[in-house]
Structure 1
Amino acid sequence: MNPDASAGDALYHTVLSPRHLMVMFWCSMLMLFDGYDLVIYGSILPHLMQEWKLSPVTAGFIGSSALFGMMIGALVLGTSADRFGRRRLILVCLVTFGLAALVNGVSTNTTEFTLCRFFTGFGLGGLIPNIVALMNEMAPRNRRNLMVTGMLGFFSVGGVIAAFAGKALTPEFGWRASFFIAGIPLICFPAFFRWLPESISFLVAQKRYPEADALLKKYAPDFMGKASSLVVSSESSDGSGGRFSAMQLFSRNQLTGTLLLWTAFGMCMLMLYGLNTWLPKLMAANGYSMGSSLTFLLTLNVGGVLGGLFSGWLADRCGGKLTLMLFFLVGAASIALLGYRQSPLVLNVLLTAAGATTTGTLSICYSFAAQIYKAEIRTTGVGWAAAAGRFGAMAGPALGGYLLSQNLSANVSFLVFAVPGVIAAIAVLLISTPRERAERAVPALAPRAE
């Protein structure tokens, strides 16, 4: 390997090893906690509404509070990692959402409950862009999409556990038991502190070369150079670039892509969090029993697990852009069809497809965003896209509450949740990827070369 390479090259061209898989494992566990903490609200919501006599609008507002916290967390903590480091911020986020979720279990009124949900979301909002950036920067290039989307697919594993906990534990032990389980990340903190590595790209940018050299020996043993010979970007990488990285998202070359990416994130999160919050109630309104409706939430998240894995495999072969558009359109169609009474087989196929495509598209969105932006603004770009997407995420639970309060038919409610998939597919179609920009630049330079 050429020793005069970028920090990304040192890892992207190395061979997949057990050490890379361990990074994926720890990041996947964090995503599992993320999925559990967010989906658990939807699984206990019918019981909470009955016990506290909540209206659909109030329940939707409480659901949106966690997603508002995620937006603030993504802006504050998600973008700070370009200055303070991925690992440090990930650990801060873990403690924040773990404590908040645990305290949720002893809340006695809607105000306390809502505040705990906000701080749970705050920690989770800062977590996701940091682990996405860390995974992108530590994964071999030919496995990057698969590893990132596979990791993000563990959101649905957490969702499956949350749906199962809501169905199995809540009738016997009450809804609080599910939140006590959400405190498990605090027990795992020592393991993350011991084994989660820092990003090599960040260490090089901070000129912490001895630490970077030690990690290069572990994660890129075939790299023959020294960390001091690596660069992160065309900048001097003195650590000050993070101060201006947010403004670079709105530069002439990035503005259109940034806004379109935000649209895709927002529409995707509206579908994902709206369904995970209100699917049991929407299915009950469509004539199904509450027990069956909670099972549908479980099926939705099982589909999410499959979609997270399959989307990465497909994106590595067909490209993230094409895969995103396909998943958005399939997701829109499957969600729209959920509003009509179906046979059990067709219904479960639609639920699996809806879960696979909504979770799968979010997984690819994060990976796609990380590949659009340069290294010096990557975490900031992903963090701001995730934060902008939270507007859609907040709208999802609130929209579901409004639809239920209006007593609309199930087919109309599901159709409303399907429309964002079409909007997102159009937004992705209009985004220019780095490869597309490079291909357009070659013909433009050809006359000068002549």
Structure 2
Amino acid sequence: MTVGMPYLFVAMDLLLISLALPYLSKAFHLPGALAGFVAGSIFIGMMIGASLWGFLADVLGRKRALQLTVTMYAIFTGLSALSWNWISMTILRIVTGIGMGGTIPLCFVYLSEFIPAKHRGKFLVLLDSFWAYGWIMASLLGYLIIPKLGWRFYFLFGTIPILTLIPLQLYLPESVRFLEEKGRKGEAEKALREVSKKAGYTLPKQLGYAKSGAEVKVTVWELWSSKYRRRTLFSWILWFCMVYGYYSFFLWIIKFVAGLGYPVPKAMFYALITSFAQIPGYFLSAWLVDKIGRRPTLTTFLVLTAASIFGFAYSKTSLELIAWIAVISFFCLGAWGVVMTYTAEVYPTRIRGTGYGAASGFGRLAGLIGPTIIGFLLDRYGLFVALTVTSASFLVGALDTLILGIETKGKTLEEISG
């Protein structure tokens, strides 16, 4: 899946700093809260990038915007290897985040506009499974490279995504829905024939095209209109809770494990082997979203993630520790698959990129706040309090889904958008 490769490398590049954080903290003499801020600073850029690129994707097109975001985050991840203090690292990570913040929503917006309703949930969750492969790659590289060659060489591997620009240009057509929404029917018909030929199936006749054939104006304020206000509130709360919980745990995973009495190299090894548990979590989630629906799947996975964090906190042996990290990885990443699917479905084509980008961008604020707060809580109150706050964020996300979430199972994008 060509569109999955940029997403895989986003995961790899974003999580590089998680494994490098103990070494960065030592090199730059960082206390816990400041180390958390440096790790989370990328979310300042992602907050900007998600909204900016989401809007630009609704103006310039999905394909062109995706290519630009990949170029940006790959270059600046590599440049992070040249940082000389925590300030320079923070600035470079912020700029990297502007590119990353756009890539994530664009991958899902793009794919959602090609997949029939019957299989859309499954394929969007499977796209999110590429995150697991990126995490595994980051963990493997960190385990093999950092102890021998250092963290700077580790960041240089972040330039690899540049290679994905070739297949993006050669094999990905522009979104048919986007072209029709902009009144570019000739290009849309050409893209439609290309997609049908490559995929070996015929797309639905009704794709929600702009009936007038004229360009439809993108209006950011429509996200908060009476028609979409509930969906926007739901998406923003959900993204905030997910980003807060996920990065509060996984950006600090090495420190958490070390805090339970294990050396850093062993903690890195545990992070590597437990990352494989993410893959079956995605596959179960992919099956359930089209079987029982998005709301029950997401709610269940979030509650089980929250409960598993307490199991991790009370681990007494290395086997228990590994098992609980694996369980957290399984349910948390399975939940993320549903979140990515949900957000790509709840808005109409004309504002889908804007809506997804805005929710993702708001969530990135939590990516900055969460790791910083966790660093402070670890220093001041200890591991259990830090993990309790992390667990609570997943429970709030579950309540948000139950109260404000809508069910989109089996519906076309046009039926969902109303």
Q: TM-score by structure 1 length?
A: 0.85
Which of 351, 358, 366 aligns to 2:332? It is: 358
Letter in 2 for 1:168: L
- What pairs up with 1:398-409 in 2 under 5 angstroms? 398-406=372-380, 408-409=381-382
Contact 1:339 1:412 in 2 (8 A): no
Deviation per residue, 1:275-315 (Å, 9 max, x gap): 22111111111212212211232244322233222211111
Give the aligned partner of residue 143 of structure 2: 167
Q: Letter of the aligned partner of 2:161 in structure 1?
A: P
Distance 1:108 1:433, change over 3 A: same
2:121 corresponds to 1:145: yes
Matching residue within 184, 201, 208 for 2:177:
201
Indicate yes or no: 2:307 matched with 1:333.
yes
Contact 1:338 1:411 in 2 (8 A): no
Partner of residue 414, structure 1: 387
Aligned partner (choices 206, 230, 248) of residue 256 of structure 1: 230
Deviation at 1:75, TM superposition (A): 0.8
1:103 aligns with 2:79: yes
Cα distance change on mapping 1:149 and 1:223 into 2, 3 Å:
closer
Contact 2:57 2:106 (C-alpha < 8 Å) held by counterparts:
yes
Structure 2 counterpart of 1:144, one-letter code:
R
Residues 371 and 189 of structure 1, relative CA distance in 2, 3 Å threshold: closer
Pair 1:38 & 2:14 matched: yes
Higher-Rg structure is 1
Once the 2 structures are TM-superposed, how far is the Cα of residue 426 of structure 1 from its aligned partner? 0.3
Residue in structure 2 matching 1:287, options 251, 261, 267:
261
Kindly state the Cα deviation for residue 435 of structure 1 after the two structures are TM-superposed. Answer: 6.0
1:224/1:160 CA distance change after superposition, 3 Å: closer
Contiguous gaps of at least 5 residues in structure 1? 1-24, 439-450
Residue aligned with 2:290, SS: helix
Q: How far, CA to CA, are the matches of 2:372 and 2:333 in structure 1?
A: 20
Tell me whether 1:240 sits opposite 2:216 in the alignment: yes
Give the 3 Å change call, closer, same or farther, for CA 300–413 of structure 1 in structure 2. Answer: farther
The equivalent residue for 1:81 is: 57
Q: Which residue of 1 aligns with 2:416?
A: none
User: Are 1:279 and 1:296, in contact at CA under 8 Å, matched by a contact in 2?
Assistant: no
CA contact (8 A) 1:98 1:183 kept: yes
Could you report, residue by residue, the CA deviation over 1:399-439 in whole angstroms, capped at 9, with x for unpaired residues? 22112221x33222211210011100000001242669x9x
- Code of the residue aligned with 2:402 in structure 1: it is L
Structure 2: unaligned runs, 5 residues or longer: 412-418
Give the aligned residue type for 2:335: T
Identify the residue that residue 22 of structure 1 maps to in structure 2: none
CA contact (8 A) 1:328 1:424 kept: yes
Return the alpha-carbon distance in structure 1 between the equivalents of residues 39 and 223 of structure 2: 30
Report what 2:41 is aligned to: 65
SS of residue in 2 equivalent to 1:249: helix
Q: Does the 8 Å contact 2:293/2:407 carry over to 1?
A: no
| CA RMSD across the alignment | 2.1
Residue among 397, 400, 404 paired with 1:431: 404
Q: Which amino acid aligns with 1:207?
A: G
2:357 is equivalent to residue 386 of structure 1: no
Identity of aligned residues (%): 27
1:305 aligns with 2:279: yes
Question: Residue by residue, what CA displacement relative to the aligned partner does 1:3-27 show, whole Å, maximum 9, x if unpaired?
Answer: xxxxxxxxxxxxxxxxxxxxxx112
Q: 1:84 to 1:26 in 2, by over 3 A?
A: same
Query: Which of 123, 134, 144 is the matching residue for 2:110?
Result: 134
2:316 counterpart residue number:
342
Q: Counterpart amino acid of 1:429?
A: L
Asked if the contact 1:271–1:358 (Cα under 8 Å) also holds between the matched residues in 2, the reply is: no
Asked if the contact 2:196–2:203 (Cα under 8 Å) also holds between the matched residues in 1, the reply is no
Offset at residue 97 of structure 1 (A): 0.1
Q: In structure 2, what is the equivalent of residue 272 of structure 1?
A: 246
> CA separation in 2, counterparts of 1:300 and 1:75?
33
d(CA) in 1 for partners of 2:231 and 2:217? 21
Give structure 1 regions of 4+ aligned residues with deviation exceeding 4 angstroms: 221-226
Q: Secondary structure at the match of 2:82?
A: coil
2-structure distance, mates of 1:41, 1:225: 43
Q: 1:414 is matched by which residue type in structure 2?
A: L
